[in-house]
């Protein structure tokens, strides 16, 4: 059974799954598809061609599926796709895509978006990600699974944030953010502060994997070698560890350069 407040507006054509509750003064557009057992809080707006999985919670005043904040957008049909079991707190905004890439903004599953977080057009966010209050992505940003974006942080367009990355509060980052590593800094001056050891331990990484990442970090960023010289050395020593292999691949594929 679907429970819709008599004060809510649900346009004809919207699809709402069993067990979903729509609160007062919420608005659901005609092209929206919402899965089972979701909770749409009061004053939330879900619009555009937006597909939402099961078990998602929108606390209140969230604006989901609005058009991209991009002057090149002329009303073309683009999409927002959201996975399962996410929590979107007060005033979170997530925009549909432009036509510049695959025309889809993608949000994974099991994520927490705290108050006033913003996910811009054409972003791709993985699973089990945490966005603290006012964490903000510009357009075309990719965030790997299990990353944490600190409060009041902003990520420049087209940047990548690696898996298990930890971004400290108040950071303004204009280059790619390395996986497994703690990164903090103001605009253009972001600094890395070692492997996110405590975070990885909490997520069940074995001690030998963390040790290999720490050794790789020291060779890459604390030795006297150039990064180009250190990469093959690390690969030879620790390339059999999949997490180190991913770190090296992330660095080599960077187009904007990395925060370091």
Q: Which residues carry out catalysis?
A: 121-122, 139
Residue length, the chain? 260
Yes or no: say if 170 and 154 are a contact pair by the CB < 8 Å rule. Answer: no
The vertex-70 CA angle with 257 and 120, nearest 5°, equals 60
C-alpha to C-alpha distance for 213 and 16, rounded to whole angstroms: 45
What order do you get walking across the sheet with 15-16 strand by strand?
15-16, 33-34, 49-52, 79-82, 104-107, 124-125, 142-143, 160-161
* Cα 247 to Cα 255: distance, rounded to the nearest angstrom: 15
Residue 96 DSSP one-character state: P
């Amino acid at each position: 059974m679907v429970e819709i407040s008599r004060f809510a507006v649900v346009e004809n054509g919207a699809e709402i799954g069993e067990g979903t509750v729509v609160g007062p003064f919420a608005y659901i557009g005609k092209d929206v598809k919402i899965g089972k057992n979701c909770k749409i809080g009061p004053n939330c707006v879900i619009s555009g061609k937006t597909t939402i999985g099961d078990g998602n919670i929108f606390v209140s005043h969230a604006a989901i599926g609005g058009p991209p904040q991009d002057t090149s957008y002329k009303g073309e049909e683009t999409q927002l796709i959201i996975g399962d079991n996410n929590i979107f707190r007060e005033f979170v905004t997530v925009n549909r895509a432009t036509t510049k890439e695959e025309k889809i903004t993608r949000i994974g599953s099991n994520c927490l978006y705290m108050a006033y977080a913003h996910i811009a057009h054409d972003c791709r966010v993985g699973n089990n990600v945490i966005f603290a209050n006012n964490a903000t992505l510009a357009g075309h940003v990719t965030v790997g699974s299990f990353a944490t974006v600190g409060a009041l942080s902003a990520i420049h367009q087209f940047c990548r944030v690696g898996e298990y990355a930890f971004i400290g509060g108040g950071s303004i980052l204009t280059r790619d953010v390395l996986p497994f590593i703690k990164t903090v800094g103001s605009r253009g001056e972001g600094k890395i502060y070692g492997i996110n050891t405590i975070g990885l331990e909490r997520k069940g990484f074995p001690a030998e994997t963390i040790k290999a990442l720490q050794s790789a970090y020291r060779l890459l960023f604390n030795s006297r070698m150039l990064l180009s010289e250190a990469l093959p050395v690390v690969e030879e020593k620790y390339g059999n560890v999949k997490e180190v292999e991913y770190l090296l691949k992330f660095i080599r594929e960077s187009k904007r350069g990395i925060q370091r």
